[in-house]
Structure 1
Amino acid sequence: MDSHVLFNHNSHRFLRNFLLMLLFVSLCRYTSTTVVESCVEEERQALLSFKEDLIDRSGRLSSWTGQQCCLWRGISCNNRTGHVVKLDLRNPYPYIGGVDDEWNSVEYQKSSLGGKLINPSLQGLKHLSYLDLSLNNFQEIRILNFIGGLKNLRYLNLSSLRYGSFVEEIPSSLGNLSNLNYLDLYNNYFPPSKNLNWLSHLSSLKHLNLGLLNLSSIGVSWLHAINKLPSLLELHLSSCSIDGNQLPLSLPTNNFTSLLVLDLSHNHINSSFPKWMFNLTSLTKLDLGWNLFLHRSLDEFVRLKSLEHLDLWRIGLKGQLLPKFFGNLCKLKSLDLSDNEIDGGIQDFLSGFSNCSSNRMESLDLSSCGMEGELPSSLGMLKSLQHLELSSNSFRGSIRESIISNLSSSLKTLHLGGNLFNGSIPESVGQLSQLVSLDLSDNSWEGSLTEAHFINLTSLKNIVLSTNRPVPIIFNLTDYEWIPPFKLQSLSMDNCRVGPGFPVWLQS
C-alpha cells in the first residue's frame, strides 16, 4: 500500500478514535456531575404522605419540603429518570446490640422514627431498589404486605424494628421480590410462621438474616426452602430456637454450595454436626457457638479449608484437639474455642500451625477451656495476632519476653486474668504499642511496676490488674508528676499500692 494512503488511513483511524474518546469522557463527566433534583411528582407525594404518619423527634426529615425531593435526606434518585430508587432511613443511633437498656435510652428514642404504623403510600415508589427502615420504633408493624409489591427491590433491611401492640407474621407476599439480593429481618420477634416456602422464590438472594425468628414450629421445611437458593452467600440463623429435630443431618441435594457465611449460633442444637455442612467448602465464616453438639470430633472440619473465621464456643467440646485439625486450616484469622473442656496445653494446640507456611491468625480465644502449663515461646509465631484471650484457665509461670517481643507491633487485646501466673510482670509489656485492653487480674503477681511498664502504651484504654498474694503489687513510679502516654476509659486495680499520695497519672 502507498505510504501516503497508509498515512491517511492511520490518520483517519487515529482521529476517529480520538473523537470517540472525547465523546466518552464528556459523557462520563456529564453522568458523574449531573444530579437530578426533582423526583417524579407522584413519588414526591407518596413520600410526603409517608412522612405525615411519622413521629420524627430529632427532625431527621426536616429537609423533606419543596420540590427538590431527590436532595432530601435519605433519598436517592436515578440521575436519568428522576425515579426514587433508594430510601435509607436507618436509625443513625450507634446501637451496639444485645443490650435492652439501649432501646429505652433517651438518645435512641429521640433518633428513632416512630408512629402508629408505616403509611402504605410507599408502594407508589415502583422503581425503589433499596429500602432500609431498620432500628426504628413503630407502635404497629403492618408493613410487609405492601412491601411485597415493590418488585424492583434488591435490598430490604427491616431489622430491629421496635413495636408496641402488634406485629404481623411474615407474609408470603415477600416471595414476589424475585430481584432481591439482600433480606434482613433480624430481631423482630415475628410470631411463628406456618412455613417459609416463599423463600424458595427469591432466586437472586445472596444475604439472608432471620435471626431471632422462631423456627421451632416449622420442622425441617425452612432448610429445604433455603436449600433452593442457588445464589445464597450469607445465611444468618442466630437464636432461631433450632434444635436437633429441625436440623437434618443430610440433604437429598445440597444447592447452596456457594455459601460463604453460616451462622447457627445461640440455638438448641443437640445432635451431631450435620454432614451437609462439610460440603460447604467455600465457607469463610462458620459460627456454631452456644449449642450442644453430641458428636464432638473435629476431624471433618479439615475439609473446610477456606475458613477464615471459626466460632465453636460453648458447644460441648471435650478431650484433646488434634493438631492436624489446625494444620489444615491455614487461612484462619479468628478462632474461638472458649468455654469448652480441652485436654492438654497450648503447646499441643499451636503445634498444628507448624504445618502452615504462614499463619494469618488475628484473634484467638481459648478462655475457660481448662488449659494449663506455661505459655510457650511458639505463641510468638502468631505475628499477626491482635486479640489474645486466655483468661480463666490454669496457665502458670511468667510471661515470656520473647512472646511479647514478637507481638509488640500487632497485639491490641491481652487478657490473661484468672490464671496461676506468678513472678513479676515483665517490663516488655510496655512495648505493646498497639495495646488497647489489658487484663492481668486474679493471678499471683509480685514485685513492682515502673514507668517502663507503660512507656509505649499510647493506645491503652482499659486496665484490669490485681494479685492474689497477700503482698500487693507496688507502683514504683519515681516521678510523682509523671503523665502516662495514654487516656484511660476504665481502670480496675485490686490489691495494688499506689501511694503515698494520690498520683498525678491517675488524676489525668
Structure 2
Amino acid sequence: MNYELLQIVALLTVIAFGGALRKATGACGSDDLEGLMGFKNGIQMDTSGRLAKWVGRSCCEWEGVVCDNATTRVTQINLPGLIEKDLFQTQMVGQLSPSITLLTSLEILDLGGLVGLTGTIPQTIGLQMPNLQKLYLYGNNLTGPVPESIGDLPRLQELALHENKISGSIPSTIGSLKKLKSLLLYSNQISGTIPFSLGNLTNLVELDVHDNAIMGQVPNSIGQMQALEKLDLSSNMLSGSIPSSLTNLTAISVLYMDTNYLEGTIPFPSRSGEMPSLGFLRLHNNHLSGNIPPSFGYLVSLKRVSLSNNKIEGALPSSLGNLHSLTELYLSDNSFSGQIPKSIGQLSQLIMLNISSNLIEWPLPQEISSLQNLQTLDLSFNPLNLSSIPPWLTSISSLSRISLAGCGIKGQIPDSLQTTQSPIQELDLSGNLLSGSIPSWIGSLSQLYLLNLSSNSLDSHIPESLTNLPDLGVLDLHSNKLTGSIAGVFDTEQGTLTYIDLSDNNFSSGVEAIGVGEQLNIQYLNLSHNLLKGTLPSSLGKLNSIHSLDLSFNELASNLPEMLAKLTLLERLKLQGNHFSGKIPSGFLKLKKLKELDLSDNVLEGEIPEGKPLTDFPGSTYSGNKGLCGKPLNPCKE
C-alpha cells in the first residue's frame, strides 16, 4: 500500500471516529454550536427556561434542537412561543442573531409566536441555509424587509412571516421558490406592488399576505398559479381592478381580497366550469362597482360569500339560487335595488343572510320561509315599508336572530314573535314606526340576549317581565316615549346585562336602584335626556366594570358622590345639565382612564381638584357652574 493511500485511509478513519464520537456524546459541529450559542446570546429573557439548559457541547441533546443521526448536523430548531404539550405561552425577549445562518444544514426553523423577538431577518439567509424547507418567524416583532436572498432557498416549502412589523416590498425572487406551498405575509407593513414572479409558484397551495400595506394592482400573472388553493390578499392597500386571470385558478378554494381599495367589477366567472372549487370568497370593504354578474351562479361550490361595503348596484341575479352549498351570504352596505329573487328559497343550506343597508323593495318573497336552516336574517335599512312583520317569518324553524331595523314597520309589536319555531336570541326592530307598549310576553323569550327597540314611538312602562330574561346582555330602548321607573331594569338577580341605553325617553324615577341588584357587569349605561329626579345612590360605585356612564340632561340633584371615584375603568362620564351641587370630589383624580368628561351646566362650586386628568380637560367641561374655579377655568380668588 503506497503512502498516499495510507494517508487517505487514516483521514477517513479520523473522520469516521470523530463522527462516531460526536454521535456518542451528542456533540455537534463547531459552526452549528457557534450558531446556536450566538442565537442564545441574543436573547435576554426566556420565560420557558429552555435556553438556560443550552450548556456544554452536546447540542444535539438540547431542548428544541434536532440533529441528523448520521452526520450530527443540526437540522431543526423548534422553539415556538406556544409549547403545545403544556399549552404554555412562552416569551423570548431579545434580537434574532444573524449567527443563526451558520446552521447550514438546517431544514426547519420554528421561532413562531415569540412576541418579544426583535431584529431583522438575516440578509444572507438564502445564501447560507440552502437546505431550509420550513421557516416560521410569525408572531414576532421583527422589522426590516424580506431579504432578496430568500429566493435562493430551493427547497423552501413553507414561509410564515405574518404578524410582524416587516416593511419594504415583496422581493421578486420569491418567484424562484419552485417548491413553495404556503406563503404567509399578513399583518406586517409591507408596501409596493405584488411581484409578477409570484405567478411562477405553481406548487403554491396557500398564499396569505393580508394586513399589510401592499400598494398597487394585482398582477395578471397570479392567474398562472394553477395549483393555488388559498389566496389571501386582504387588509392591504391594493388598488386597481381584480384581474380576470384569476379565473385560471382551477384549484382555488379560498379567495380573500377584502379590505383594500380595489375598483371595477367582479370579473369572475365568465362561464361555467371556471373556479369550480371556490368555496370561500371575501371581497368586502373595497370600492367595487357594477352588478353581480348572472354568471356568478356558476360558482357552485361557494359556501361563504361576503361582498359587503362596496358600491355594487342593480338587482340580485336569480342565478344566486344555483349556489346550493351556500351557508353564509353577506351583501350589506351596497346599492342593490329591486326585489329579493324568489330563487333565494332554493338555498336550503343557508344559515346567514344579510342584505342590510341597500335599496331593496317590497314585497319580500315568501320563499324565504323555505330556508329552514336559516339562523340569522338581517334586512335592516331597506325601503321595504312593511305594514307589519310577515307572519311566515315565524315559521322558519331555526331563525334565532331577526334584524328588521329601519324597514318602515308600523303598528304594535306583533304577538306572533312570541310563538316562533326557534327561541329568539336577538331581536332588532329599531328605527321603525312602532307604537303602543312593549308587550309583557317579551319576558317569555327565555334565550333573548339582545333587544333593540330604539327609535320608535313606544310608550307606557317597561314591563316587569323583562326581569325574567336570564341571558339578556344588551337592552336598547332609547328614543321612545317610555315613562315611569327604570328600577325594574336593575331589579334582577341575573348579572348578564353589559349594555343599557334608556336615553331620550320620559322616565322619571328609579335611579336609586342602580347598583343595588346583581347587575355589576354593566359596561355601558346611558340614561340621558329623561326626567329622572332624586340623588345618585352610593351603590353606583359597585359598577366597577363600567366604561361609559351618561346621566346628562335630567333633574338629578345633591352632591357628586365620592363613590364615583371607585369606577376606575371609566373612560366617559357625562353629568351635564342637572342640578348637582357642592365640590368636585378630589377622588375624581383616581379616574386615570377618563377621556371624556362633562360636568357643565350644574351648580357646582369650589376649586377644581388640581391634577390629571381633571386639569387636562377644556374649560367647556366645567362651564355653566358659576361657583367653580381653578385650572382650566379662572384662578380661585383668595
> Could you tell me whether the CA contact under 8 Å between 1:334 and 1:363 is conserved in 2?
no
Does 1:183 find its partner at 2:255? yes
Task: Give the deviation of 1:485 after TM superposition.
Answer: 5.2
Question: Which residue, out of 300, 307, 312, partners 1:242?
Answer: 312
1: distance between equivalents of 2:558 and 2:547? 21
Q: Are the counterparts in 1 of residues 220 and 245 from structure 2 also a CA contact under 8 Å?
A: yes
Q: How does 1:217-366 map to 2 (within 5 A)?
A: 217=290, 219=291, 222=293, 224-243=294-313, 245-248=314-317, 250-251=318-319, 254-297=321-364, 301-322=368-389, 324=391, 327-329=394-396, 331-345=398-412, 348-349=413-414, 352-356=417-421, 358-361=423-426, 362-366=449-453
Aligned-residue offset at 1:74: 3.8
CA distance in 2, matches of 1:416, 1:304: 35
DSSP-derived class of the 1:318 partner? coil
Inter-partner Cα distance in structure 2 for 1:446 and 1:410: 26
- Give the secondary-structure state (helix, strand or coil) at the position aligned to 2:207: strand
Stretches of structure 2 that go unaligned for 5 or more consecutive residues are 1-63, 68-74, 78-100, 105-116, 140-153, 167-186, 427-448, 591-638
In structure 2, the residue matched to 1:20 is none
Q: Structure 1's 121 and 319: CA in aligned 2 closer, same or farther, altered over 3 A?
A: closer
Distance 1:257 1:389, change over 3 A: farther
SS in structure 1 at match of 2:575: strand
Aligned to 1:137: 213
Q: Distance in 1 between matches of 2:487 and 2:389?
A: 25
What aligned pairs does 1:334-483 form with structure 2 within 5 A after superposition?
A: 334-345=401-412, 348-349=413-414, 352-356=417-421, 358-361=423-426, 362-399=449-486, 401=488, 403-405=489-491, 408-425=494-511, 427-430=513-516, 431-455=518-542, 457-468=543-554, 471-474=555-558, 477=561, 480=562, 483=565
**Separation in 2 of the partners of 1:432 and 1:64?**
57
CA distance in 2, matches of 1:407, 1:262: 39
Given that 2:266 and 2:288 are in contact with CA atoms closer than 8 Å, whether structure 1 keeps it comes out as no
Percentage of matched positions with identical amino acids: 25
Q: Which moved more, 1:364-373 or 1:263-272?
A: 364-373
Answer whether contact 1:367 1:389 (CA < 8 A) is retained.
yes
Tell me which structure has the larger Cα radius of gyration: 2
Change (3 A) 1:338 1:474: farther
Aligned equivalents of 1:162 and 1:502: distance in 2?
A: 48
1:496 to partner: Cα distance:
3.7
User: Does structure 1 retain, via aligned residues, the 8 Å contact 2:399–2:422?
Assistant: no
Partner of 2:50: none
TM superposition shift of 1:234: 0.9
Q: AA paired with 1:239?
A: N
Question: Relative to 1, partners in 2 of residues 1:247 and 1:466: Cα closer, same or farther, differing over 3 Å?
Answer: same
DSSP 3-state at the match of 1:353: helix
Matched letter for residue 415 of structure 1: D
Letter in 2 for 1:384: D
TM-score (norm 1): 0.70
Distance 1:383 1:375, change over 3 A: same
Q: CA deviation at 1:89?
A: 3.4
Partner of 1:150: 225
Aligned-pair distance for 1:319? 4.7
In structure 1, what is the Cα distance between the partners aligned to 2:322 and 2:237?
35
Q: Aligned residue for 1:501?
A: 583
* SS at 1:201 equivalent: coil
Match of 1:204 in 2: 277
What are the Cα deviations for residues 381-415 of structure 1, in whole angstroms up to 9, with x where unaligned? 543232223322333333352x5455833222112
C-alpha change, 1:351 and 1:454, in structure 2 (3 Å) is farther
Shift of residue 308, structure 1, vs aligned partner: 3.0
With a CA cutoff of 8 Å and minimum separation of 6, indicate the structure with the bigger relative contact order. Answer: 1
Q: Deviation per CA, 1:314-367: give whole Å up to 9, x if none.
A: 11243554484564356455443333433344xx35761344574434333333
Q: Aligned partners of 2:399 and 2:568: how far apart in 1?
A: 32
AA partner of residue 576 (structure 2)? D
Give the TM-score taking structure 2 as reference length.
0.57
What is the alpha-carbon distance in structure 1 between the residues aligned to residue 264 and residue 519 of structure 2? 50
1:206-227 deviation line (CA, Å, top 9, x unaligned)? 211222555644x45x2x3331
Measured at CA, do residues 146 and 195 of structure 1 come closer, stay the same or move farther in structure 2, by a change above 3 Å?
closer
Range with bigger deviation, 192-201 or 258-267? 192-201
Question: Residue type matched to 1:472 in 2?
Answer: L
Would you say the 8 A contact 1:473–1:495 is kept in 2? no
Instruction: Give the Cα–Cα distance (whole angstroms) in 1 for the partners of residues 269 and 511 of structure 2.
Output: 59
Distance in 2, Cα, partners of 1:411 & 1:298: 36
